Every structure is written in C-alpha cells, then in structure tokens.
Chain A
Amino acid sequence: KAGVTQTPRYLIKTRGQQVTLSCSPISGHRSVSWYQQTPGQGLQFLFEYFSETQRNKGNFPGRFSGRQFSNSRSEMNVSTLELGDSALYLCASSLIGRQGADTQYFGPGTRLTVL
C-alpha cells in the first residue's frame, strides 16, 4: 500500500496570507489527524477528522481549520498567517478498527515558512 502523502512539501508565504495543505491517507484509513511540529515543541495536535467530521480538536486558534472529503483525503487551512505559524505540519492516518487503538502512520510533512 502507498503511504500517507502530503502536498506541497514546502511552502513559503508572507504574513497575512492564507495557505491550504493537503493530505492523502493510506487507502482504507478513515481517520486523519493533523499536527504542528516546531523545534523543541514536539507534536502539537491540531485536529482529527473521521468520516468527514471533525471529531477531536486541539488548542489552536480558529485561524486553523480543516476538512475531510468522502474519500478520506483531508485539507487544512491556515488564514491570516503569522510568523509563529512557521513549522512542519504533519498529518497521520489510522484505520480505526473495532478493537483497541490503531497505529497512526505519518506523512512526510509540509514545511511552511512564513516571512
């Protein structure tokens, strides 16, 4: 199976602009989670989508939003970019089976630089 893919891999934007990142999960995986990773901050959870619904949300401002399509592909949007939004944005997909917790598989990430 193909792994999780993310596009674009790199983005450079200026303050005030908005950006849309895309994530395609592993085939059959229905849950997609988004994380922000900055040096020294670990993996900060943004939100999780399951069956086109946002099921979990982290502690980020409303400028960060997302959606999931019927084929489980997901997008996240950041509006009114700030310098502090510069980070690696990772998405992860999991199967969501009936028993126990499922492994999350990460994409390669999108490196966003805000100038």
Chain B
Amino acid sequence: GENVEQHPSTLSVQEGDSAVIKCTYSDSASNYFPWYKQELGKRPQLIIDIRSNVGEKKDQRIAVTLNKTAKHFSLHITETQPEDSAVYFCAASRGGSYIPTFGRGTSLIVHP
C-alpha cells in the first residue's frame, strides 16, 4: 500500500520567515495530494491541494509543488504569521476505492 513520509516533525520559524514542509510517497498511482491544517483543538481543514497533472499551485502565501518523478511534494508558506502556527498534514490518494494516506504531521511554530 501507499506510504507517506513527512518531514520535519517540528518546525520553528520567526514571523516573516518562510516555512517548507516536505512529503514523499511510494505509490506512483497516487494522483491527488491535499494539505490540511489543524489548529489546536480544531478539526483538520484543507488549505491547498494539487493533482498529478499540475506541478505547482499557489494560493496567496501558500504554495504546493509536486515532483512526480521523485515522488515528493512540498508545502511552502511565505511571510509566516503567528496564526500559521498549527499541525500540518500531507496526504496522498489515488481515488476510486482507495482512501488517502496521511503523513504523521508537522508542528509549525511561528514566533512573533
């Protein structure tokens, strides 16, 4: 089955810095890669996603890149703010009857 590795497990940055979280996946048939943000005590919420026919997608300060050949994808957050502090999960999915496989999460801490 699919295996998703996520790094780092903890990331500490200063406000205004950029943050990058990386994930690798094993199943070359995976074609959908969402990222979720989970604030303390709240549900995971989708913040951005990318499908395998696209190499990069941006939404304001957030971007995701996908390298299908190397089977890795990354989340980039620019100009970080304290409210970006949360746990971020990546996932890989191939659709149909297959459920997504989640990474173990990255705790992002943005210091004011």
A109 at interface by CB-CB < 8 Å: yes
For residue B91, give the distance in angstroms from its CB to the closest CB of chain A. 8
Query: If the complex has contacts A43-B89, A100-B31, A100-B32, are A106 and B95 also in contact, measured as CB distance less than 8 A?
Result: no
When C-beta atoms are compared, the residue in chain B nearest to A4 turns out to be B43
Residue A105 at the B interface, CB < 8 A?
A: yes
B residues 8-39 in Cβ contact with A at 8 Å: 31-32, 34, 36
Q: Which of A43, A104, A109 contacts B34 (CB 8 A)?
A: A104
One of A33, A42, A101 near B95 (C-beta < 8 A): A101
Interface residues contributed by chain B, number (CB under 8 Å): 25
Given contacts A42-B105, A108-B43, contact A103 B34 (CB under 8 A): yes
Q: Which residues of chain A come closer than 8 Å to B95, judged between CB atoms?
A: 99-102
Does any Cβ of A come within 8 Å of B68's Cβ?
no
**B-chain residues with CB within 8 Å of residue A90 when the two chains form the complex:** 43-44
CB contacts (< 8 Å) of B51 on chain A: these are: 100
Q: B100 and A101: CB pair below 8 A?
A: yes
Chain A 48-75 interface 0/1 with B at a Cβ cutoff of 8 Å (1 = within):
1010000110000000000000000000
| Contact across chains for B44 and A106 when beta carbons are under 8 A apart | yes
In the complex, the answer to whether B102 meets A43 with C-beta atoms within 8 Å is yes
Indicate with 1 or 0, residue by residue over B92-112, a CB within 8 angstroms of chain A CB atoms.
Answer: 011111111011110000000
Q: Which residues of B contact A (CB under 8 A)?
A: 31-32, 34, 36, 42-46, 49, 51, 89, 91, 93-100, 102-105
Interface CB pairs A-B, < 8 A, 19 = A42-B102, A43-B44, A43-B102, A43-B105, A48-B99, A99-B95, A100-B51, A100-B95, A101-B31, A101-B93, A102-B32, A103-B34, A103-B46, A104-B46, A104-B100, A105-B46, A106-B36, A106-B43, A108-B43
| Beyond known contacts A48-B99, A90-B44, A102-B95: 7 more, CB 8 A cutoff | A100-B32, A101-B96, A101-B100, A103-B49, A104-B91, A106-B44, A107-B43
